[in-house]
Amino acid sequence: MNGWLLLALTAILAAFIGFITNVIAVSMLFRPRKSIFIGNWRLPFTPGLIPKRHEDIAHHLGRIVMEHLLTVEGLQGRLTEQRFQNEVNTWVKEGAKKWLSNEERSLQEIAEHYGSWTEPHQTVEERLKKAVNDRIDVYWQDMQTQTIEQIIPDDWSQNGRDFIPIVAHGILERLRTYLYSKEGKAQVQRIIQTFIQRRGSIIQMLDSFVRTEKMVERVYPEVVDALTSPDIENWLQKKLHEEYDKVMEKKGTDILSEERVEHYRLALTDIVMNEIPIEDVFHKPVNEWAEKIDFIYVDQISDSVIQQAGRFLEVNMSGILKSLRLDHIVSEQVKAFPLARLEEIVVNISNRELRMIKILGGILGGTIGIVQGLLILLLV
């Protein structure tokens, strides 16, 4: 046989075998989808690799998703990302404003549509009253065990102390103004005259030589200056500080009785219920009472809700992921996925690569055939 013909036939045959082998190998990834039996004997390599290991693939894919894709650190990082928070914030605000402006149903109708909540306004009123009463109870318990200084914020206590010099100075300034007024002078003159009348005949005799009016005119400026001097102001500040400290050391029960607290409880509850027309809000169409809402408050509420929700998710992310059992969900979804559809997706994604594998089998086979033909020609 012609040597070149032998070399060509060997190369073609080996290339064909390599190509067909890789075609079969690629096909065996998905086919056959079920085991093939001859009697009680199962044909080897049936079913195909992916159908046979379908459950294991689903299990490992779920574990990979949990351990490497949806990790606690990754989700926490995403939640704290400023860009993500801004996007969510914008979406929530726009959605809330759009809903408030366009919703023609009342909250009562919405509650009845989505559940069996027939009188939601009564429930909200009861919960609001309970919230007010609970808050008052907390404050009252604090007032029974703590001093006024412990109850109020630290800056309030310090601001009160800082305000004492202003109060003392203001008192003396008002006193100075009053004493120099006609009413003040008349009042001082009456005091002096009353003093003289009560001291007997000797003082009255002296009054006949020196009239009360002249006495007042001469000593009045000195009296006013003495009563409003810096020494008096310092003394007044000291006394005010002492009284302020005494008040701060008192407990709430020293100032308020249980009857007074109960009175304030009822009054505050009435004020809250009157200021918040819950029944009107629940029975009017949303877009009607929403017209009276300043959307600035909507933005503020959205900011607060999103911030609190972000903190909650960040802190409880690990527990939430465990409760969701996403690995189990992914595993079950992959198990339920039809093999035919799975094969179609893989083929569509990697069709070019699979075709190259088949062609590569032919190229490698042809190369091996050429080497074999050359060896045959050399040996013959």
In the chain, where the domains are located: 1-104+285-380, 147-250
| DSSP-based three-state secondary structure for 298 | helix
Residue numbers in the chain where pLDDT is lower than 70 = 1-3, 113, 115-121, 192-193, 195-219, 292, 294-295, 380
Strand partners, 37: 42
Q: What is the pTM of this model?
A: 0.40
C-beta of residue 10 within 8 angstroms of C-beta of residue 377: no
Residue 74: per-residue pLDDT: 77
Q: Tell the burial category of 200 from Cβ atoms under 10 Å away from its Cβ (0-12, 13-18, 19+).
A: exposed
pLDDT in tens, 44-95: 777 777 777 777 777 777 787 777 777 777 777 777 777 887 888 888 888 8
